[in-house]
Amino acid sequence: MTSLFCTYVRPQLEYATEVWNPCLMKDILAIERVQRSFSKRLPGLTDKSYSERLRILGLHSLEKRRVFRDLVFVYKILNSLVDLDSTRFFNLATYDGTRNNGKKLTTNRSRLDCHKYTFKNRAIGIHSLQP
């Protein structure tokens, strides 16, 4: 049953997450609710917590999978595995110190929410620095 869910349902929930990734809690919970209800309906798992059901089934939360897919896409952009110019998304920070490898990613800060939750800001974690 889990393999059917992973084959047919989960790809629909994860489609184009690099382009559209929910930032509102109501949207995150609505997407996660699908996997919660699936895992709760399996025999023997109805009385377990969601995190325990995921552990038993060998699955990850959809939110964690979206973060992973963002990181994989950053890797693909930086290593030219996709036909996108990495300079349009990221800037490499320049430091004069000896304790860096010169590969720290930066991007422009944004004041507006419409820019704050875009892929490039979300992927390198700059949105966590803003109030």
DSSP letter at 44? T
Q: Answer whether residue 21 shows pLDDT above 70.
A: yes
pLDDT (0 to 100) of residue 56 = 92
Q: Answer whether residue 101 shows pLDDT above 80.
A: no
What whole-number distance in Å separates Cα of residue 17 and Cα of residue 93? 26
Backbone angles phi, psi at 98, to 5 degrees: -90, -10
Q: Answer whether residue 1 shows pLDDT above 70.
A: yes
pLDDT (0 to 100) of residue 130 = 35
What whole-number distance in Å separates Cα of residue 115 and Cα of residue 63? 20
